[in-house]
Structure 1
Amino acid sequence: MGNTKVLAAVYGPREVRSMGKQQFDECIIQCQMSRIAASQGERLKRPTDQRTRAMSQHIAGVFHAAIRKSKYPGSQIDIYLQVLQADGGVMSACINASTLALIHAGVEVVDYVVSCTASMNKQTPILDVTNQETNTGCELTTAILPNKGSIVYLDTAHTVHRDQFEEVMDLAMAGCQQVYEAMHREVESYLEDKHAIMSHR
């Protein structure tokens, strides 16, 4: 999204590696996120720092609400994310990339998960926030199941004034809907192309 670039890959459903984690009635969702050294314009001591691990846990939690876990009992699904370039909205980009990767992998979901960031800059609401815009104002990140109308993730990077929260939230929700429409078009186009290729074999 914007100048933020993320690679996503999904492996599974596959056998649970640790028997201690195995759940026989549904599957385990795991996420591992890493950043290349220059993804934030500075060298990181470790590609997976504490904040990155926390984001990985949040993303796994988000997709617990979206994946039909009962379809894959006793198995696990692993989401791998690599942030190539970060200029704001990293969490949203990771969630959106994960959604597309899951669909591409054929994992059954109850709905798309789409995410967007919004902020307030000098009384002006803005969408798809950059790092510079985050540093000068609040940042609200939300993720929704657009067809179900459910919010599955909500976070603020800085304090959002009560008088501004509703306006920023409404903008973020509208942004999520735009992301959903764009993603849905791309998925439909991909599935049509895939069907056309398969029918000619």
Structure 2
Amino acid sequence: MSSRVEILNDGGYRSDGRRQYELRDITIDLSPRGTADGSAMITHGLTEVMVDVFGPREAKLRGQTLHDRALLTVEVGIVPFSTGERRKRNRGDKRILELAATIKQTFEPIVQTNLYPRSEISIFVSVLQQDGGLLPASINATTLALLTAGIPMTDYVTAITCGVHSTAPLLDLTTLEENDLPHLTVASLPRTFKVTLVAMETRLHVERVSECMKIAGEAGKVLHQEMKRAVEARTKRLVQAMDMAPRIGGVGGGVDRDVDMDEDNQT
């Protein structure tokens, strides 16, 4: 069956004008929101995700308390106008539960939960707009939100989608491309180049999988630099705010944890 759209034309350009390995425009906003301990909003093209982190704090349910480490919880919400689907997805929707479970599994080995026994770290993911790459955007935003909350991690986690058109790998797929191409999501650790997640909903030849993982790792380095720049810029703003604040008992003291965390995670 032929594709509904021309995925890759004779000139090597995709339907949105990008080349094979070209990423969509990325924007990052680390402005604090409400009572969250850490927040991040990220866009990959037209896909927009916001993540708020609360904790470490006392676990809501005593029966869930872990005596040797913090409990990591993830909730995902998708706003009704974020997609062209008419179907409304509630929190019990299978796709939402799978997305939350995947995010949790990705970060449990990376977050140093052993430093906060008998506590809870809550991650709330809000999907504001969707146009492909929802899982990678959610993972990248979660990394940044955890950093701004001062939660120690062993490394950044960066994620990207990779699909294959004929034999040509494509990075950072839109919804149209995801609907037409076999693809997978790869999350990696920039410091060690280890892969922490491979999520595949479609069948893909083993040779294409290894090829996608390789170029996804290279894309992860680019994403890491973008994310690192955003964290460094935020740290600089916090330090400047501390310097400008009157030196009166405890003013500005609340940002120490954020600054230390950002510095510790620069790689």
TM-score range, shorter chain: over 0.9
Tell me the residue number matched to 1:45: 88
The residue type paired with residue 34 of structure 1 is G
1:63 maps to which of 102, 107, 111: 107
Structure 2 gap segments, 5+ residues each? 1-43, 246-267
Deviations along 1:85-132, whole A, 9 cap, x unmatched?
A: 111110000000011111111111111111111111232211111111
Q: 2:51 & 2:130 partners in 1: Cα distance?
A: 15
Q: 1:97 & 1:166 partners in 2: Cα distance?
A: 26
TM-score by length of 1: 0.95
2:69 maps to which of 17, 20, 26: 26
Tell me the residue number matched to 2:55: 12
SS of 2:162's equivalent in the other structure is strand
Residue 77 (str. 1) matches residue 125 (str. 2):
no
Q: Which runs of 4+ in 1 moved over 2 A?
A: 43-48
State the 1:43 CA deviation. 2.2
Deviations along 1:139-179, whole A, 9 cap, x unmatched?
A: 11011121122211111121111232222221211111111
Tell me the residue number matched to 2:190: 146
Q: Which has the higher contact order (CA 8 A, sep 6+)?
A: 1
Alpha-carbon contact 1:12-1:78 (below 8 Å) kept:
yes
Q: 2:238 & 2:49 partners in 1: Cα distance?
A: 24
TM-score by length of 2: 0.72
Name which one, 1 or 2, has greater alpha-carbon Rg: 2
Deviations along 1:52-85, whole A, 9 cap, x unmatched?
A: 1111011111111111111111100000011111
Residue 121 (str. 1) matches residue 165 (str. 2):
yes
Q: 2:208 & 2:67 partners in 1: Cα distance?
A: 46
Deviates more, 1:119-128 or 1:175-184: 119-128
Alpha-carbon contact 2:193-2:217 (below 8 Å) kept:
no
SS of 1:20's equivalent in the other structure is helix
Deviates more, 1:8-17 or 1:158-167: 158-167
Alpha-carbon contact 1:28-1:76 (below 8 Å) kept:
yes
Structure 1 gap segments, 5+ residues each? none
Alpha-carbon contact 2:186-2:195 (below 8 Å) kept:
yes
Deviates more, 1:92-101 or 1:38-47: 38-47
Tell me the residue number matched to 1:100: 144
Q: 2:192 & 2:66 partners in 1: Cα distance?
A: 27
Q: 1:162 & 1:108 partners in 2: Cα distance?
A: 35
Name the Cα RMSD after superposition: 1.2
Q: 1:60 & 1:89 partners in 2: Cα distance?
A: 17
Alpha-carbon contact 1:121-1:133 (below 8 Å) kept:
no
State the 1:44 CA deviation. 2.5
Q: Percent identity?
A: 32
Q: 1:103 & 1:163 partners in 2: Cα distance?
A: 35
Residue 196 (str. 1) matches residue 253 (str. 2):
no
